[in-house]
Amino acid sequence: MKILIYSANFAPEPTGIGKYSGEMAEWLAAHGHNVRVVCSLPYYPQWKLDPAYAGRAYRRDTWRNVSVWRAPIWVPASPTGIKRVLHLLSFAIASLPLMVRQLFWRPDLVLTVAPAFVCAPMGWLAARLAGARAWLHLQDFEVDLAFNMGLLRSKPVRGIVLRLERFMLRRFDQVSSISTRMVETLQRKGVPKARTRYFPNWVDVSRIHPGLDGDAFRVQLGIPADSVVVLFSGSMGGKQGLMAIPAAASLLSARSDIVFVVSGEGVMKPALQSAAADLPNVRFLPLQPIERLGELLCFGDIHLLPQNEDATDLVLPSKLCGMLSSGRPVITMSRPGTELHAVVSQCGLVVLPDDTSALAAAVVKLADDRAARGELGKRARAYAEHHFEIDLVLARLFGSGARTQSAAASENLVVPASS
């Protein structure tokens, strides 16, 4: 089957949507599909264009047997409010000629990954003009997030945007999202239940597993072998409530046996470094190469997953999959009734958003109870294996197929017919 993936973010971006779009494209190609991708030049999570792609507005390359067509994108130094909207619009406009060109290829399926939702109209139109099925996959509800977090404030604008969103969602043959709560939200937004699909993010449990040794990071940071490492790893965005980390570390500064480690890049990193500048129990690591991700995640004894209260019911953070696969307990900030709460409560501890005292207490509770950490870690690993394993997730949506039999793979593709 010919599959066109339309995603602003794509490999070699190491985190977030780019990572998952890249892994999906690679998996589909390995299972016999003919895959093309239209995406932007890499820029995430540093919010700077990758120097390796400098000097050309448009670029075409091959990535792991996938044909990739890259369009320019404007990258603001401070991606907030209207700047973020313009950032996404710049890609939607610049990618238009590339999408038109794909019509002559005549794909069977056009899979648009959002954000950016501003790409949804072009993704849908390209599918219709090519006679293909149109599939929209939502990694988060960026419209709701933008207003809930105060990035956009006008109530009249919100009403107009939500009506446009509802209109666009109903045009697609299939709309999927990464949690069951988010799928329910799709249905409340007017998408018929028969057209919605649960399509979670995933993890390769063979690459991230509890047996990996993270001691090299302890040596690098000078952390004693008997200290408990409380780790946050991933992109650092505003919706993640990351300022809770230095706040909790400050409350536990007298506990020399507990060390907070923050690894990654993103717009919040300077603020985090400033807040933790005088804290002896906080260390920072740069974004690690994908080859060392398993080692990094197993370096932590406890994983931290703070979350902004305004975002907690609108997203299921993709970094959770790797945390669970490492076989370590997770502490998150979420309210009862959210999917994040439902998952983490089975294999870690959950405190209310913005309650840094409770977060610090949860860290102490697990740091002082090695047996509890071990038991919760086993549950975390089992949850990853049974719910987020990459072959399980993608085979359920696309069919397992045969690596060399594209026809068989195409027959197994789970996408409803156009309405």
| pLDDT at residue 405 greater than cutoff 60 | no
More confidently predicted of 167 and 118: 167
Sheet containing 109-114: give its strands across: 59-63, 66-71, 34-40, 2-7, 109-114, 133-138, 174-177, 196-198
175 and 111 Cβ atoms separated by less than 8 Å: no
State what percent of residues in the chain have pLDDT above 70.
91
Q: Dihedral, CA atoms, 336, 341, 342, 348, nearest 10 degrees?
A: -130
Looking at the fold, whether 173 and 295 belong to one and the same domain comes out as no
3-state secondary structure at position 9? coil
Average pLDDT over residues 135-147: 81
Looking at the fold, whether 228 and 271 belong to one and the same domain comes out as yes
Is residue 266 a part of any domain in this protein?
yes
Looking at the fold, whether 178 and 268 belong to one and the same domain comes out as no
Instruction: Report CA-CA distances (Å) from 278 to 273, 354, 355, 357, 385.
Output: 9, 22, 22, 19, 40
What tens digit of pLDDT does each residue of 353-385 get?
A: 989 999 999 999 999 999 999 999 999 999 999
Q: Which of 324, 143, 322, 306 is nearest to 237 (CA)?
A: 306
Letter string b/e over residues 147-173, b meaning 16 or more CB atoms within 10 A of that residue's CB: bbbebbeeeeeeeebeeebeebbebbb
Handedness of CA 149, 152, 157, 160 (dihedral sign): negative
Where residue 147 falls among pLDDT bands split at 50, 70, 90? low
Residue 40: strand pairing partners: 71
Question: To which residue do tokens 């004894």 refer?
Answer: 301
Instruction: Report CA-CA distances (Å) from 83 to 71, 79, 88, 89, 151.
Output: 19, 6, 9, 10, 10
What tens digit of pLDDT does each residue of 326-358 get?
A: 999 999 999 998 889 999 999 999 999 989 999
| pLDDT at residue 149 greater than cutoff 70 | no
Is residue 210 a part of any domain in this protein?
no
State what percent of residues in the chain have pLDDT above 90.
74
Looking at the fold, whether 259 and 373 belong to one and the same domain comes out as yes
| pLDDT at residue 172 greater than cutoff 70 | yes
Is residue 358 a part of any domain in this protein?
yes
Is residue 119 a part of any domain in this protein?
yes
What tens digit of pLDDT does each residue of 216-246 get?
A: 999 999 999 999 999 999 988 877 889 999 9
Predicted confidence at residue 117, as pLDDT, reads 76
More confidently predicted of 72 and 115: 72
User: For residues 393 and 389, what is the distance between their CA atoms, to the nearest angstrom?
Assistant: 6
**CATH assignment of the domain containing 24:** 3.40.50.2000
More confidently predicted of 147 and 362: 362
What tens digit of pLDDT does each residue of 76-114 get?
A: 988 877 788 899 999 999 999 999 999 999 999 999 998
Looking at the fold, whether 221 and 121 belong to one and the same domain comes out as no
Handedness of CA 116, 117, 122, 126 (dihedral sign): positive
The amino acid at residue 166 is: R
Structure tokens at 299: 């370096």
203 and 325 Cβ atoms separated by less than 8 Å: yes
pTM assigned to the model:
0.88
Q: What is the DSSP string of 294-330?
A: HHHHHH-SEEEE---TTTTTT---THHHHHHHTT--E
> Which residues constitute the domain of residue 341?
215-387
Question: To which residue do tokens 């975002």 refer?
Answer: 311
Looking at the fold, whether 337 and 400 belong to one and the same domain comes out as no
The number of distinct structural domains making up the chain is 2
Q: Report phi then psi at 38, rounded to 5.
A: -110, 120
User: For residues 8 and 295, what is the distance between their CA atoms, to the nearest angstrom?
Assistant: 29
Predicted confidence at residue 146, as pLDDT, reads 65
Q: Which of 86, 115, 87, 122 is nearest to 101 (CA)?
A: 122
Average per-residue pLDDT for the chain = 90
| pLDDT at residue 404 greater than cutoff 60 | no
4 and 107 Cβ atoms separated by less than 8 Å: yes
Predicted confidence at residue 413, as pLDDT, reads 43
| pLDDT at residue 248 greater than cutoff 90 | yes
What tens digit of pLDDT does each residue of 184-213 get?
A: 999 999 999 999 999 999 999 999 999 999
Predicted confidence at residue 317, as pLDDT, reads 87
Looking at the fold, whether 364 and 289 belong to one and the same domain comes out as yes
Looking at the fold, whether 330 and 252 belong to one and the same domain comes out as yes
Where residue 305 falls among pLDDT bands split at 50, 70, 90? very high
Structure tokens at 86: 């313009």
Looking at the fold, whether 313 and 379 belong to one and the same domain comes out as yes
Looking at the fold, whether 32 and 164 belong to one and the same domain comes out as yes
Looking at the fold, whether 338 and 374 belong to one and the same domain comes out as yes
What tens digit of pLDDT does each residue of 33-53 get?
A: 999 999 999 999 889 999 999
